[in-house]
Structure 1
């Protein structure tokens, strides 16, 4: 029995040959993440959700990119951007950046554009013209007092002597002459009492405005027809002047070219009226300039003949200008 249990004795060479025939274990594989997808939340305002916007964001790796939020965005909407995530492994393709929109409530503001509620304040007269008007008014009062005093003195003299024919030439020989010389001059240069005088040649100085001339491409959304139209806005402006002119070109659907006229203030608040074909009510646009990697024009519009909006028809966003 002991002889059967004994294993055969192998030589050292046979043992080495057996070890060589056993294949080596495979090298350990490096574990990499299954994907490089990124998930984040983007907070926007109600105005940006309604009219759309372009928001710059910084990725975890330090890279910067811009995200276009379409008009009419809603709470919880998901925007997927291919190729903006992180690589799943070194040298591999980048994953997907997934953004979930959240809308923050905007602060309450007064309805209507601020631009329409501003009233032009009258320009105060220069001190030179004010002092000149006061001087002329004083001379007129002195002249009236002198005439009244002369008439009273003449009346007293006539009563005391009883002869009107002799007193008039002897007592006041130069009164009629002085009145004849003074009255025409005072009628031309002296304003009536109680009325303010102003230089006849004075003209209103043109208002200053932010320079926004250029071509802006974008779209407008009509809430009445629920239709989005591609437009091109051309603004012509003299630098430093608030007056605007130009055209609005409707691209899709094609509706032709329409002239516009309006103004812009120093803060970038603008308003202009676009004339349409005969029989159609003009469109009134108003809004403000937004600086987001370029100049954008954003605001609302309506059908109006009075350069104001009682009911908003829709909104628009064009830019950047060039």
Structure 2
């Protein structure tokens, strides 16, 4: 592993985090938090980080020693050098204020969600994002694959996609096509899997099986430590807020809405299709007047 003192980019640091995260669930928890909150981390003490994650300060210290640093403060010096150009003055003010205990827990959750939404600007670009668009506008059959709570996103995405194009299917465990998908020709099908914590084992196993049979899978998941990394040809990382009783999917929903907007711009016959759908809905008096 590279000398941590020589690291000059977050990509290099992230590679180290992924390596050490494999050693224990606690280390993975720390690594995921750093990956999602690396700008915020530089304003936190080791005690604050431990409290935030519900772990001991000793675990925090051992993690950074495993990374190759003398301790947490030694790590911060490297991190500060990496992010100094990215950190704006408003961000410095925002993150430094977060040391103070908020009186309203709802405010904490909303602040996190707003920060997640801000990340979409950077998320919605690059080759993995372009690959998702290409799958959507392709003539191939499009499969939306998920399970358990992650699958609650599919009806929203599937509803819009069926307005935009044909041959879109939502697959969850126990649906008829779930057990027969492997019988399709991999070259005739594009698969998009939606996988957020807690990662459903049945979904991981299904995607692994599909990969072995040569299917093309793109993933939408939350971080580089997701099991989706093991079988997706391309992966887009979208944060989901976990600071509530159940995870909050407003950022993933916003992501898909904007993704489908970008895809629609590349579908020249979409206007005609939408007008035909509108005509059918008027004839059937779909909407209340």
TM-score class, shorter-chain normalisation, is under 0.3
The structure, 1 or 2, with the larger RCO (C-alpha pairs under 8 Å, 6+ apart) is 2
Q: Which has the higher strand share?
A: 1
